[in-house]
Amino acid sequence: MRKNARRLTVASALVGTLVLGGATSYAVSTELTGHGDARRLDGDQTRELRRQIDGGDAQNVILLIGDGMGDSEITLARNYAYGAAGELPGIDALPLTGQYTTYALDPSNGKPDYVTDSAASGSGWATGTKTYNGAISVDVDGASQETLLELAQAKGLRTGNVTTAEIQDATPAVQMSHVAQRGCKSPSRMGACPDEALENGGAGSITEQALATRPDVVLGGGASYFGDTATAGEYAGQTLMAQAQDQGFEIVTDAAALDAVRSADQDAPVLGLFADGNLPTVWDGPAATHAGGAEEPVTCTDNPAHTDDVPTLEAMTTKAIDLLDAGSDRRSKHGRGWGWGWGHSTKDDGFFLQVEGASIDKQDHAANPCAQIGETVDFDAAVEAALDFAAKDGNTLVIVSADHAHSSQIVYPGSTTPGLTRTLMTADGQPMTVAYGTAEEGGSQAHTGSQVRVAGYGPGAANVVGLTDQTDVFFTVRDALNL
């Protein structure tokens, strides 16, 4: 069993907190110099792991994706916020871990394209089918592939889709729509997807398909696309916002309104739109530059653009779980909580929820380590909320992974490299230099093709162990929910 066993509240999981430049960082008081001081295990964990392995069915699945959250991005966040010997209380708490491959396909020959984008990777876990970069839940020939969210709906389960990006962005889009290119987000942006345009007999843009798919809860950004006008069909000439209102969606636009929502179902699904584009990051700081690594270490600060009107990913995740779980008597009286196996309810209902921490990737692209780390910490809090629910519920499978790896790397303190660097002061009181080397200043750092971590807790979680592929997640979730 792990030396720092998981607690069910953030407060009891932490030994102490440090406030660094306005943004919160956490440190575990640990001596590292003695024999065995850096161990993370306390004795043999075999018996504990046996308890975690269960092949039973799940009532609910919560799939959490840290966009661009490779092993390096996880390590950066842990070092900065908790120290090298610390733990991320959500991401690091899942008891069963593995790695999965993320490659896309070259549509010209069906062979591997070694560096995926979010669209191809997301389509892989959403549908079980590999595809090309840019594709949203279609195969290499353009044929639509049924998604986990659609399969869950067909079985009568509640469904949710939460993101810190636009709800039309690639990762949320793969569960709700099928288009040839990820940029086809609204009727005026369908140039790359003529076959999907309503006027050509298609299913419409990503936004229009999201309304038609009608998950019970959708939360994120992307409000600007709802100002676009339908070009064909019943709502031709009307805005997509008017269409959503006419179709009975309960539309909320700030944290207080979201908190006030008490129910979500097919009669009145909840559509939360908290920004015109992507949600602002929770932390900010100076970007990496050619000389940044040699400058004085910086601490991260709260982003003033992330006001109280903007819900955190943890708040959106908690609310989505509450709404999807409300009104159903699914919790088994036999669920024993963390580490002791799962209860098995006989009711045939439940929910499927996908949650994305989107701007880990977006701030990695921008070579902004503070914003990137802040989004990882924000994502970690959402993971912890999901695990807290799952431990109490006893019938919930939680899977945490990423769509692809990214550029940020930890290098020797104060290093100057041919790329871009920035040195941060961590929770250990030590400098940590972060390097980006795949684009010049002002450019967009590139994804990388490395395998990424996948971790699980709950019924069926053992299927993440070892080396798998992102498409394996589809089958693990499908089989756990009997879809």
182-196, 272-286, 325-339, 380-394: range with lowest mean pLDDT = 325-339
Residue 5 lies in a domain: no
Helices (H), ranges, 348-416: 359-365, 369-393
Report how far apart, in Å, the C-alpha atoms of 315 and of each of 62, 318, 385 are: 15, 5, 9
Residue 135 lies in a domain: yes
| Residue 345, pLDDT score | 40
Sequence-ordered list of residues with C-beta below 8 angstroms from that of 47, at least 6 positions apart, any chain: none
Query: Quick one: average pLDDT of 223-233?
Result: 97
Query: What is the rounded distance in angstroms from the CA atom of residue 459 to the CA atom of residue 465?
Result: 13
Query: What is the rounded distance in angstroms from the CA atom of residue 28 to the CA atom of residue 233?
Result: 58
| Residue 340, pLDDT score | 34
327: pLDDT strictly greater than 80? no
Indicate the pLDDT class of residue 6, thresholds 50, 70 and 90. very low
| Residue 328, pLDDT score | 57
Query: What is the rounded distance in angstroms from the CA atom of residue 364 to the CA atom of residue 287?
Result: 10
Question: Which tokens go with 260?
Answer: 């006030």
11-25, 65-79, 133-147, 317-331: range with lowest mean pLDDT = 11-25
Task: Give the largest CA-CA distance in the chain.
Answer: 72
Query: Quick one: average pLDDT of 10-25?
Result: 37
Residue 143 lies in a domain: yes
Q: Which residues pair with 123 in a beta bridge?
A: none
Residue 140 lies in a domain: yes
| Residue 39, pLDDT score | 81
Fill in the amino acid letter for 476. Answer: T
Q: Kindly report, residue by residue over 148-172, the tens digit of the pLDDT.
A: 999 999 999 999 999 999 999 999 9
Query: What is the rounded distance in angstroms from the CA atom of residue 422 to the CA atom of residue 390?
Result: 38
Q: For the chain, give percent helix, strand, coil, nearest 5.
A: 30, 20, 50
Residue 4 lies in a domain: no
Query: What is the rounded distance in angstroms from the CA atom of residue 4 to the CA atom of residue 6?
Result: 7
| Residue 20, pLDDT score | 36
Residues with active-site annotation:
118
| Residue 132: CB atoms within 10 Å | 24
Query: What is the rounded distance in angstroms from the CA atom of residue 300 to the CA atom of residue 78?
Result: 14
Query: Quick one: average pLDDT of 98-112?
Result: 97
Query: Quick one: average pLDDT of 31-54?
Result: 81
Indicate the pLDDT class of residue 26, thresholds 50, 70 and 90. low
Helix (H, G, I), strand (E, B) or coil at 461: helix
Query: What is the rounded distance in angstroms from the CA atom of residue 274 to the CA atom of residue 255?
Result: 8
Query: Quick one: average pLDDT of 315-321?
Result: 98
Q: Kindly report, residue by residue over 428-483, the tens digit of the pLDDT.
A: 999 999 999 999 999 999 999 999 999 999 999 999 999 999 999 999 999 999 99
Question: 211, 244 in Cβ contact below 8 A?
Answer: yes
Helices (H), ranges, 432-482: 470-480
10: pLDDT strictly greater than 50? no
| Residue 161, pLDDT score | 98
- Please indicate whether residue 334 or residue 427 has the higher confidence score (pLDDT): 427
Query: What is the rounded distance in angstroms from the CA atom of residue 258 to the CA atom of residue 255?
Result: 5
8-17, 138-147, 160-169, 306-315: range with lowest mean pLDDT = 8-17
Fill in the amino acid letter for 236. Answer: A
Residue 107 lies in a domain: yes
Query: What is the rounded distance in angstroms from the CA atom of residue 110 to the CA atom of residue 411?
Result: 37
Query: Quick one: average pLDDT of 349-354?
Result: 96
* Residues 32-63: b if buried by 16+ CB within 10 A, e if exposed: eeeeeeeeeeeeeeeeeeeebebeebbbbbbb
Residue 37 lies in a domain: no
- Closest to 408 in 3D by CA, of 397, 398, 417, 395: 417
| Residue 3, pLDDT score | 32
Q: Kindly report, residue by residue over 178-188, the tens digit of the pLDDT.
A: 999 999 999 99
| Residue 51, pLDDT score | 77
Indicate the pLDDT class of residue 91, thresholds 50, 70 and 90. very high
Name the residue range of residue 47's domain: 10-32+42-480
Q: Kindly report, residue by residue over 367-376, the tens digit of the pLDDT.
A: 999 999 999 9
| Residue 326, pLDDT score | 85
Query: Quick one: average pLDDT of 50-61?
Result: 84
Q: Which residues pair with 163 in a beta bridge?
A: 356
Query: Quick one: average pLDDT of 285-296?
Result: 94
Give how many domains the chain has, as a whole number: 1
Query: What is the rounded distance in angstroms from the CA atom of residue 235 to the CA atom of residue 251?
Result: 18
- Please indicate whether residue 262 or residue 34 has the higher confidence score (pLDDT): 262
Question: Which tokens go with 18?
Answer: 């440090």
Q: In the Cβ-directed half-sphere of 356, how many Cα atoms lie within 13 Å?
A: 34
Question: Which tokens go with 23?
Answer: 């943004």
Report how far apart, in Å, the C-alpha atoms of 176 and of each of 130, 173, 204, 344 are: 17, 5, 12, 29
CATH number at residue 16: 3.40.720.10
11-15, 380-384, 445-449: range with lowest mean pLDDT = 11-15
Q: In three state form, how does the secondary structure of 265-282 look?
A: CCCCCEEEECCCCCCCCC
Question: 180, 196 in Cβ contact below 8 A?
Answer: yes
Residue 179 lies in a domain: yes
To the nearest whole number, what is the mean pLDDT of the chain? Answer: 90
| Residue 335, pLDDT score | 35
**DSSP structure class, residue 446:** P
Helix (H, G, I), strand (E, B) or coil at 71: helix
Token pair 């031709």 in the structure block, residue: 236
| Residue 64, pLDDT score | 98
